[in-house]
């Protein structure tokens, strides 16, 4: 079975992608499993540029088909912040709890109806020769005033779905995979990967 390198060592992302791509006929491997230690600086100005940088760098180093993503939270009351800076919003090396606390501090006093937000995800699939294809996904919600749930990572505990009356971190994995930004982008990626493996 051919290998597909997942260009992340984020344990939460690895778990999600293993679930999202379980139907694909590739062995999903991580950089750590391949003995790769690469630090890719995310210097792009868009999700596409950052995802491409990671996917191409790892594909060339590993000589494997590689999947990388870049995703972010866009809060309307903050003019789209944190966006592509989502993982670095509270400073380099900040924990998930610190990022969430920082975000809530930035929108303290903003009424619930103005706390609209969306998650965006761009997946880049790269070949060792430099070819790249992109897949996109997004989902809409609002930022809750307090974190709730322990199922997700990142900003999931404060990303609230009014119609479900739950945060992303309160959703079972199968529900999250169906409606999340990463789930939507991954379904597009699954179609591409299934075509390659057939």
Q: Are strands 3-6 and 65-75 parallel, antiparallel or unpaired?
A: parallel
* Cβ pair 60, 128 in contact under 8 A: yes
70 catalytic per annotation? yes
* Cβ pair 182, 16 in contact under 8 A: yes
The CA dihedral of 119, 138, 187, 191, to the nearest 10 degrees, is -130
Q: Which listed residue (70, 76, 96, 129) is catalytic? A: 70
CA nearest 67: which of 147, 14, 142, 125? 125
Give me 117's structure tokens.
Answer: 């937000």
Work out the angle between the directed axes of helices 181-197 and 11-20 (0-180°, nearest 10). Answer: 60
**Residue 11, Cβ neighbours under 10 Å: how many?**
10
> What does the alpha-carbon distance between residue 85 and residue 75 come to, in Å, rounded to a whole number?
12
Q: In the chain, where does DSSP find H-type helix?
A: 11-20, 47-62, 96-106, 173-179, 181-197
The residues assigned a catalytic role are: 70
């Amino acid at each position: 079975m051919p290998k597909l390198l997942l260009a992340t060592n984020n344990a939460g992302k690895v778990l999600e992608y293993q679930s999202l791509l379980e139907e694909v006929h590739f062995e999903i491997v991580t950089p750590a499993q391949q003995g790769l230690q690469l630090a890719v600086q995310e210097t792009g100005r868009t999700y596409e540029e950052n995802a491409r940088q990671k996917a191409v760098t790892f594909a060339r180093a590993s000589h494997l088909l590689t999947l990388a993503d870049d995703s972010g939270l866009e809060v309307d009351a903050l003019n789209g912040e944190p966006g592509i800076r989502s993982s670095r919003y509270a400073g380099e090396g900040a924990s998930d709890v610190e990022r969430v606390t920082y975000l809530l501090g930035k929108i303290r006093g903003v009424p619930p109806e103005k706390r609209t937000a969306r998650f965006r995800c761009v997946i880049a699939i790269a070949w060792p020769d430099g070819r790249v294809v992109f897949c996109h996904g997004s989902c809409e919600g609002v930022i809750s005033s307090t974190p709730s749930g322990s199922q997700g990572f990142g900003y999931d505990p404060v990303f609230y779905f009014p119609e479900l009356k739950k945060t992303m971190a309160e959703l079972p994995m199968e529900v999250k995979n169906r409606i999340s930004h990463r789930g939507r982008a991954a379904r597009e990626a699954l179609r591409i990967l299934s075509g390659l493996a057939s």
